[in-house]
């Protein structure tokens, strides 16, 4: 008789998400500006061939075969939150009120920490700067391990119109694993390591990028 309640409990738990909550327009309850803005600007983007042509010729992008996805930022407190995936190329167009504000890009993860490449461009797609000075933040009961980098847009003489954020397969091969006792034991046995949810901070999906105002 105990078998049936146990089975029902297992089915209930398996149908629940232990890590993330996604909908077409939100990520964990935060408005996904990229989806909304892309839908509203679809006709405009379809005619912006010059934009994508120049993007393909940007330096240091020989690792990336796909054209970048273009997003337009708003002025919300959390400007953008995207599930990045393992390898990606994202071009972020800044609105005029954000081109002189310092921003912070955070890479939140549940099992790995990786540092996306960040490049800043002018309106004419001239490379202004490449940023690599990430800071590592250890996990707390509120947040998992994460990497943060400041985009000091207020310090540049030329207004920054575009922020390019991307990763390459070579960088994915050198990510920093967050080892726990169980996965280390599995590795010693030669077992495949499956991604595990981050129970301390379940709101952080693997590979989430958050861009907001620097404090």
- Within a domain: residue 15? no
Report how far residue 167's alpha carbon sits from residue 169's, in angstroms, rounded to the nearest whole number.
7
- Within a domain: residue 147? yes
The tokens 């690792």 sit on which residue?
63
- Within a domain: residue 87? yes
- Within a domain: residue 40? yes
Tens-of-pLDDT digits for all 215 residues of the chain? Answer: 555 554 544 444 333 333 344 444 554 454 444 445 545 545 454 444 444 444 555 544 444 555 566 667 765 555 566 665 556 677 888 888 888 889 988 877 555 555 677 889 888 878 899 888 888 777 676 666 678 889 999 999 999 998 888 775 555 555 444 444 445 545 555 555 444 443 433 333 455 677 888 87
Where helices occur in 15-118 by DSSP H, the ranges are 33-40, 42-46, 49-56
Instruction: Please classify residue 71 by burial: count the beta carbons closer than 10 Å to its beta carbon, then call 0-12 exposed, 13-18 middle and 19+ buried.
Output: buried
Q: How many domains does the chain have?
A: 1
Structural domain span for residue 84:
20-213
Report how far residue 5's alpha carbon sits from residue 7's, in angstroms, rounded to the nearest whole number.
5
- Within a domain: residue 12? no
Model-level pTM? 0.56
Provide the Cα torsion 116, 120, 123, 128; round to 10°.
-150
- Within a domain: residue 3? no
- Within a domain: residue 97? yes
- Within a domain: residue 10? no
User: Chain centroid to CA 82: how far?
Assistant: 5
Other Cβ atoms less than 10 A from the Cβ of 215: the count is 6
């Amino acid at each position: 008789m105990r078998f049936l309640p146990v089975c029902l409990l297992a089915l209930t738990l398996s149908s629940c998400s232990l890590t993330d909550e996604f909908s077409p327009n939100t990520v964990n309850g935060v408005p996904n500006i990229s989806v909304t803005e892309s839908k509203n600007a679809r006709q405009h983007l379809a005619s912006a061939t010059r934009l994508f042509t120049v993007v393909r010729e940007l330096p240091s992008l020989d690792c990336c075969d796909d054209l970048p996805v273009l997003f337009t930022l708003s002025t919300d407190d959390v400007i953008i939150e995207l599930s990045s995936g393992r390898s990606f190329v994202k071009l972020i167009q800044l609105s005029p009120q954000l081109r002189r504000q310092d921003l912070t890009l955070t890479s939140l993860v549940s099992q790995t920490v990786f540092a996306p490449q960040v490049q800043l461009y002018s309106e004419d797609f001239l490379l202004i700067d490449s940023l690599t000075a990430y800071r590592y933040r250890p996990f707390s009961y509120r947040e998992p391990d994460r990497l943060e980098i400041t985009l000091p847009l207020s310090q540049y003489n030329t207004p920054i119109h575009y922020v390019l954020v991307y990763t390459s397969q070579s960088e994915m091969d050198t990510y920093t694993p967050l080892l726990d006792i169980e996965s280390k034991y599995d590795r010693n046995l030669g077992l495949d390591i499956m991604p595990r949810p981050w129970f301390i901070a379940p709101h952080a999906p693997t590979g989430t990028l958050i861009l907001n105002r620097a404090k």
